[in-house]
Structure 1
Amino acid sequence: MAASGRWRRLRTLGRGASGAVVSLASDAASGELFAVKSAGASGAATLRREHAVLRGLRSPHVVRCVGGGEGADGSYQVFLEYAPGGSVADAVARGGGALEERAIRALAADVLRGLAYLHGRSVVHGDVKARNVLLGADGRARLADFGCARTPGFSARRPLGGTPAFMAPEVARGEAQGPAADVWALGCTVVEMATGRAPWGGADADVLAAVHRIGYTDAVPDAPSWMSAEARDFLARCFARDAAERWTAAQLLEHPFVAAPCHGHGDHEAPRVSPKSTLDAAFWEAEDDDDDADEAVSASASERIKSLACSACALPDWDGEDGWIEVLGDQQRVEVCGAVQVARSAPGKVSSVLAVPAGEMDVGGGGGGGGDELEAEDVSFGGEVPGSADASAERLSLYSRPHSRHATPRQKKEEEEEEEAGT
């Protein structure tokens, strides 16, 4: 960000159970994107503690904190790395309610690397679940939301916490919440990725009954029957009811379920440019379906714009009758060569000559943000300010929604009907 620390809040990405709000924001000078987690005076202490934990962490598998501080009205704000892939829970929803095992392996490995890093620094996350794992621009998973984190300086005087369905038996009994509890929660997260819902009945479960079952019976979450023997064995190591017998994150990284080299983020992925600004983001989100296109993407937004131009697609011929598509009905959504355009009046026409791809943006801390309006709010903040984000990234290949630049099936059908009518 600029030295002045002026930035604009764009829209809400998500809201936490503690009342904190996560927003997408951009630097007023450069347009660089980042996330802002904000809490009013009543929630400032919790967010201040989370900031204290995050600013001491440096790992590619932990969401990066780039600044924060207290506002004049007693509120508190933390500036965070923007994760354009959204959360793993969003990826599960985009995948139809479940992810393929190959994607689950890769994500579980990333979370384990993050947990191994945290546990090596005597930090317990305390609330591992798909909603609290974000997908960065490089496609890797990052642990986020450290509101329940426990550190050597704070653990003794903090109550045990987390999401009930993901609690380990010792946490449900109120005994302890150490690194082993994070491993149990990771196992629950694997089940969530494979089934689309949390263990023990998910949101439909009776919370008290679930906590009693977790803490005071011999039950463990069921491993999905369709998963491989390696996956089921991995979950069995995570779900050892005795915390002392549960495998550590470092040990699980050697398990065949995540250790096989073909399940990681291979070097065969085409490099992609991460969205550093509001201009560059729209181009980064568009996917090219041509599997043979291995050309490197320019890191310059201006060069990428130029690469879209060609001799056949200069400016449209506004007076001509060729190259137009009729649009009928108010607010009708029309896809033109992979671009999404909206007709606000009827009838009208849309040019297919010049179109910029417009993919759906999935963001960290929640889904697409619902129908929130863009907020024209310039903010000047006197605390620490975010630094620059990394410019290079790999494509989200295993769990991101494809964006086609070709005609939609409906358009193809209409074209075929027109050709038959003409003959």
Structure 2
Amino acid sequence: MTEPEPKSSADEPWPVRVVSQKVGAWVARLGWVWVDGQVAQISRRPGTSVVFLTLRDPSVDLSLTVTAHRDVLDAGAPGLTEGARVTMHARPEFYPARGSLSLRADEIRQVGIGELLARLERLKKLLSAEGLFARERKRRLPFLPRKIGLITGRASAAERDVLMNTRRRWPSIDFRVINVPVQGPTAVPQILDALKVLDNDDEVDVIVLARGGGSVEDLLPFSDEALCRAVFGCRTPVVSAIGHETDAPLVDYVADARASTPTDAAKRIVPDLDEETQLIGTARRRLDRAVLGMIDRESNRLESVRSRPSLARPETLIDQRADEAGRLRDRATRSLDNRVRRADDDLRHTLARLRALSPAATLERGYAIVQRTDGHVVRAAGEVTAGDVLRVRLADGELRTEVQEQE
């Protein structure tokens, strides 16, 4: 069983050589790996068989030094130039004397156009599956942005086309231009930085990525995965104006709007002042015609209303209503008189019948009503006795009498 290696401490520190040895041992544990990158620099020193290369990551600002034998480079990638994409088989090496890290390659392959297109197709399918190309996720461009952010090459034709054509359409438009490399190993990192700066600017309402045409290799930075994801993550709408109509880098599919050329981008980000002025004039004329037509229709309707008899001679309506009221009053009077007469006749007939049936009429014919003092009507002689006092009601007055004899 091996004893554990002693650790360093303030009392027993490791010498520099020990630290260098341990770093070299840890680096050597990685072993041989396949590395993909972009050649940023090639250095062939006269009189030596070693070639020095600087290999840069296409998406971020990171690079490594690579050493290879001249025969390895000539066998795998003859005519290699700066900016080319390569794949190499290498292992890391730590040089204690300089405290530097580099890769030593024993095989270098230059990535051809076919392999580049195959990689782009695989990346395109991956991004599409993740929803980065989805139409429903694309944001609508503002009708008239306050300020336009432009990312393009310095003093490039694309910059001139976008600025000139945009200001030709809307002269007062404001730009914030950030110039970056649009090809080569440093393009993607600087474009990412510029994109972040413009996306954080609250005054910028739309961002334009502009570049002129070029080969597939020249347009590779705009198909980089990191750039596509950064465009997808922007809060500000992004317009892609890369290359010509036939060029289709992946950022075109991710951007909120795609312009076929930088000139076409100007048509998409701002309206044309002359056209808008003409549209406003046309709308005003249509509005004038509509208002005048409405006034004419309402005037005719008002004139028609005024010409009606009820408004032309209002007394006519009053006279008609007065006549109608008079007729109704006469009908009511006749009807009431008839009802009163019929009621009077009915009352007289009823009174006559009542009088015929009334005891008073009987009394007027000479009859009398005999009552005892308690009010009982006497109907038979047997109901009284001699000496009873009786009350005799006549048609006119009454009598009090005493019974002297009962028969």
Could you say which TM-score interval applies, normalised by the shorter chain?
under 0.3
Higher relative strand content: 2
Higher relative helix content: 2
**1 or 2 for the larger relative contact order (CA 8 Å, sep ≥6)?**
1
TM-score (norm 1): 0.21
